[in-house]
């Protein structure tokens, strides 16, 4: 498996909320992992086109997670764990 780290981006979203985005290239496909700390003063939501998309509730290490399979062959896995919002796209 030929994995290449493309770049790492640190984004300051507010005084106490930061997001780390890691972009990987795997066999000519882009995989994006994001990790964002959550505070009680910040709400987070996800918008997606639900036409021809499939959403599935799963569990990751005891945490509730959502796997969204979009019509453009993009898969998005998101879950909350230890005060972090984690997302994996590819």
pLDDT, tens digit, for every residue of 40-90?
A: 555 555 555 566 778 899 999 999 999 999 877 889 999 999 889 999 999
Contact 66, 57 (CB under 8 A): yes
pTM of the model: 0.75
Q: Higher confidence at residue 1 or residue 75?
A: 75
Say what the pLDDT of residue 54 is: 86
Contact 63, 71 (CB under 8 A): no
Say what the pLDDT of residue 13 is: 86
Say what the pLDDT of residue 70 is: 82
């Amino acid at each position: 498996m030929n994995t290449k780290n493309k770049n790492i981006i640190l984004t300051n979203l507010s005084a106490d909320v930061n997001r780390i985005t890691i972009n990987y290239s795997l066999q000519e496909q882009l995989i994006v992992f994001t990790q964002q700390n959550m505070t009680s003063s910040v709400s987070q939501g996800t918008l997606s086109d639900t036409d021809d998309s499939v959403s599935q509730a799963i569990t990751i290490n005891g945490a509730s997670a959502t796997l969204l399979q979009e019509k453009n062959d993009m898969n998005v896995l998101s879950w909350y764990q230890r005060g972090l919002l984690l997302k994996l796209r590819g």
